[in-house]
Chain A
Amino acid sequence: MAQAPVLPTGFELPLEPRLPRIGSVDQVAVEARATDLSRRSIKREAKLFALDLAVRMMDLTTLEGSDTPGKVAALASKAIRPDPSDASIPSVAAVCVYPNLVQTARERVGDSGVKVASVATAFPSGQSPTDLKVAEARRVVELGADEVDMVIDRGAFLAGRYAKVYDEIVQVKEAVGDTHLKVILEVGELGTYDNVRRASLLAIAAGADFIKTSTGKLSSSATLPVTLVMLEAIRDVYEETGRRVGMKPAGGIRNAKQAVQTLVLVHETLGLDWLTPDLFRFGASSLLNDVLMQIRKEKTGRYQSPEYFTID
C-alpha cells in the first residue's frame, strides 16, 4: 500500500540524521513485556554463551570518593584476568573510573585490550557550568581515556530546557572527538518512561555513541523495563537512519540472572547485531564475581564457595 512518510517534510525536526517519531511509552504494557521476556528459560549452553558474553561486555566500575591508585590497580588486574584459575574466561571490556584515576588505570591495563572509561561532566549530578563540563571531558581524553561516560543535565531536562541538554552533549562530543561517548540519562531522576524515551532520542540526536541508564548513585536504575524503552529507541533510530547506537545499563545489575535477562531483552528487541561489546555494555561493580561463579557452576555442575573468587 502506497503510504506517505510518517513525518511529512514540513514537519521534520531540524536534526540530522532524522529522528524517528518521538511518540510515547505505555507504562503498564512496557513493564508487562519486560516481565514476559524475563521469564525466558536460558539453560546449559545457551546460558554459558550469555555468561561469557556478559564478561566480555562488562565495564568493571569503581566510582567512589575513596578510590585510590591501589584500588584501581587491583580492579585493572581483575579486568584483564577475571578468573586466574580459568584461562578460558575473557577479559572484560573496560574499567570505568573517576578522572583522577584514569592515568593509573591506563598504565595498569597497558596493551591488554581492556579499555579505560572515565566519567566526566561533573559526574554524577551534572550541575556545573557547561564550559567546565566540556573542559573536563576534553581533559580526561588527554589523560588517556578511551571512552567518556558523561551525564546529562537532568535539572535542565526536567525544566523543559531540552535545547540546553542537547547543546551540551554536542559540545562534549566535539571536545572528545573520536573517543567513544556514552551519555548517562540517570533514568531514576527522569520520573517517567516517556522522559526516558525522549532523553534517549535527544542524546542520540546530539551524537551519543552509547546511551547509558544510570550513574549507579541512585537506588532506582537499570531495571528491565527502562532498558527495554531505551533499546526500543535505539531500534527506532536504526530503522529510521541505519545508525547503530550502543546501550549500557548500569547500576542495579548485581547477579548473573539479571545479566542474562537483560541479554534476552537485547536479543529479542535488537537482534544478534547488538550482542557485542561494541554495542552493548554492562556497567557493574559486583556483577562480575556472580557471573564467574555461575560459569564455573555450569562447567563443573557445582557451586564453589565465594571465597574462591577475588574481591577487588
Chain B
Amino acid sequence: MAELEKRGDRTPAPPKWEYASAPESREIVTLEERYGLFVGGDFVEPRSGEYYETIAPGSEEPLAEIPQAGPEDVALAVGSAREAFENGWSAAAPAERAKYLYRIARILQERSREFAVLESLNGGKPIRESRDVDLPLAAAHFFYYAGWADKLEYAFPHRRPKPLGVAGQIIPWNFPLLMLAWKIAPALAAGNTVVLKPAETTPLSALLFCDVLRQAELPPGVVNIITGDGRTGAALVKSDVDKIAFTGSTEVGKAIQRELAGTGKKLTLELGGKAANIIFDDCALDQAVEGIVNGIYFNQGHVCCAGSRLLVQESIYEPLIEKLKRRLTTLRVGDPLDKNTDVGAINSRQQLEKIEELVAAGKEEGAEIYQPPCRLPEKGYWFVPTVFTNVAQSYRIAQEEIFGPVLSVLTFRTPEEAVEKANNTPYGLSAGVWTEKGSRILWMAQRLEAGVIWANTYNRFDPASPFGGYKESGFGREGGRHGLEPYLAFDRAGSAGG
C-alpha cells in the first residue's frame, strides 16, 4: 500500500454498496379469508364456531381467520381418522401407501416456491431458509419414508410390525411444514392414520398441505388437520387416539406425559434444549464461526437444537470472539421475503417478550452484551442478533432455553471440563464439537449426553438420520429407521421402543 500511495494512484474504496431489495413475489400464494378444519378429506366449519386471526410476524398484517377447534371438533377428526384406519388404510397394500407418500413428496417439490413463500410469510423465517432448507427437507422426508412403507418387515426382522391406529400429532411453530413432514411421513408409512394440530401462530402451510393431500388423492380421513391453540392440543391428547407425538416446550411435554400416564397410549416427546457448541483451539476457525452463526441465528434461534451455549477453549477465546462479532455485522436482519435476508422476524409478540425478558435478566446478572449495529423494520417483531460474553454457568441465560437469536458464551480449559459444562443442564438434545482431531470428536461424542452430536458442522438434518433427545429434551426418535418404531406395535417379543 505504501508504494501505491507514493505513486499517487490510490483509488478510494466506495462509501457503501447497498444490495437493492430483492423480495420474492407473494403472488404465487392465494390466501382464503377464512379456513375450515380438514376432516374426512373436506374443509368443514368448526362446531365450536370460534375463529382467531393469524398474522404475518414481519409486518403484523392479518392474513386469515383460522378455526379454533373445540373438543367436539377434535372428536370428529379422531373419529374420521379411526374410520379411515379401520376401513381400508391399515389393510391397504404397503406399496399403495408408498404410492401416496411418493406423490405427496413430488407435489411438495413442484409447489415448493408457493410453500416457501407462505412459510416465510406466516412464520417470519427468511425465504432463503424456507426455500433452501425447510422445503427440500420436507419433501425428502416423504421420499425417504415412502421407501420404507413396503419394507417394514425388513426394517424390523422377526418382529412383525403392525400399525398402532390413530396418531395424534402436535407440532411447533418454528418449522411448521418440516415438522408436519417429520410427523406425518413415518406415521403413514407405518400404516397409521393421523390427526395433526399445527401451532397456533403458523397454521397456513399445514392448511395448504391439505390441498396437496387432495391433489395426491389420499383417501379421505387418513390425514386430518385441526387448528387452534393449546386447548385444542389438550383436547387431542385426551381424545381417543392410540399415540401422541409432540414437539414443543418441555413444560407442555411434561403435562402431556402426566395426562397420558396409565392410559396405554404411546408417547414420543421432542422438547427443548440448551445445546453446547464446543470450540476447541485447533479447529478451523473461520468455519467454526460460520457454524456458531448457523447454530444460533439460523431461523432466528427458534430451533430446539440451537447451539445456544457456546463453550470456547480459553486459549482461542479472544480471536474467536473478535471474528464472531465481525461476522455479526454482516448479518442482514429484515423482511423475511427478501432473498438477501439472513435473520427474519421473531415468530410472535409473545416469543419476543420472552426473549426480551431473558436478555434483560442476562444484563442484570452481569453478562456483557454485544449487538451489531442494525436497522430494524418499524412494524413486526424483531430482535437484533445478540452475543453475551462473561456468562457464568449459573446465569439464567446459560440455563434456560431462550429460543431466540441470543448466544451465551462460556469458556473451558480442557476437554474434561468441556464435557462437564456441556452436560450440566437438564436438557440433552444436541451438541456441536469443533476440532481438527478425529480422535477427540469420538471421545467427546461418547461422553456428551445429547441425542444429536454434530462434528465440525451444526444444524444439519437428513431424513435418514434419527433425531431426538436425552433427559428433559424428550424421548423417541424421528427420522431414519428409528423414526418408524414409535408408530408400530410388534407381535413378537422385543420392546417396541418409544
Contact = CB atoms under 8 A, between A and B. Distances in A.
Contacts of B6: 178
Interface in A39-95: 39-47, 49-50, 53, 56
A28 to B, nearest CB: 7
B343 to A, nearest CB: 13
Contacts of A33: 287, 290
Given A25-B287, A26-B287, A6 B316 contact: yes
- Which of under 10, 10 to 19, 20 to 34, or 35 or more describes the interface residues of A? 35 or more
A45 B20 contact: yes
A41 B20 CA distance: 8
B50 interface: no
Interface stretch (B10-18, B67-75, B93-101, B138-146): B10-18
Given A178-B6, A272-B14, A46 B456 contact: no
Given A3-B317, A56-B11, A268 B330 contact: yes
Given A41-B339, A178-B3, A232 B11 contact: no
Nearest to B317: A3
A178 B457 CA distance: 44
Interface string A1-15: 101101000000000
B319 interface: yes
Interface string B315-346: 11111001000000010000000011000000
B17 A29 contact: no
A264 to B, nearest CB: 8
Nearest to B15: A272
A26 B435 CA distance: 10
A253 B225 CA distance: 50
Interface string B1-12: 101101101111
Contact of B11 (A21, A178, A243, A278): A278
A276 B1 contact: no
B127 to A, nearest CB: 10
Contacts of B286: 25, 30, 232
Interface residues of B, number: 45
Interface string B286-300: 111011000000000
Nearest to B128: A39
Contacts of B360: none
B287 A46 contact: no
Contacts of B4: 180, 278
Nearest to A20: B319
B3 A209 contact: yes
A244 interface: yes
Contacts of A205: none
Contact of B390 (A1, A4, A29, A232): A1
B11 A24 contact: no
A210 B90 CA distance: 68
B436 interface: yes
Interface in B271-289: 282-288
Contacts of A107: none
A232 B288 CA distance: 13
A50 B318 contact: no
Contacts of B250: none
A40 B15 contact: no
Contacts of A45: 20
Candidate in B15, B340, B411, B456 with the most chain A CB atoms within 10 angstroms: B340
B284 A25 contact: yes
A170 interface: no
A41 B22 contact: yes
A30 B456 CA distance: 11
A23 interface: yes
Given A25-B286, A29-B291, A239-B322, A1 B20 contact: no
B287 A3 contact: no
Interface in A271-288: 272-279
B19 A6 contact: no
B436 A24 contact: yes
Given A1-B390, A40-B340, A21 B14 contact: no
A304 B288 CA distance: 45
Contacts of B9: 113, 278
Nearest to A280: B13
A267 interface: yes
A179 B377 CA distance: 49
Candidate in B15, B284, B319 with the most chain A CB atoms within 10 angstroms: B284
A113 to B, nearest CB: 8
A200 to B, nearest CB: 13
Contacts of A272: 13-17
B330 to A, nearest CB: 5
B19 A26 contact: no
A29 B283 CA distance: 12
A29 B314 CA distance: 23
Contacts of B291: 29
B393 interface: no
Contacts of B15: 272
Given A41-B22, A45-B20, A29 B319 contact: no
B389 interface: yes
Contacts of B14: 49, 53, 272, 275-276
28 contacts: A1-B390, A3-B317, A4-B315, A6-B316, A21-B285, A23-B285, A24-B284, A25-B287, A26-B287, A29-B291, A29-B456, A41-B340, A43-B19, A44-B20, A46-B20, A53-B14, A113-B9, A178-B3, A178-B6, A180-B4, A209-B3, A243-B1, A272-B13, A272-B16, A275-B13, A276-B12, A278-B9, A278-B11
The 4 closest A-B pairs by CB, nearest first: A29-B287, A41-B22, A26-B284, A26-B287
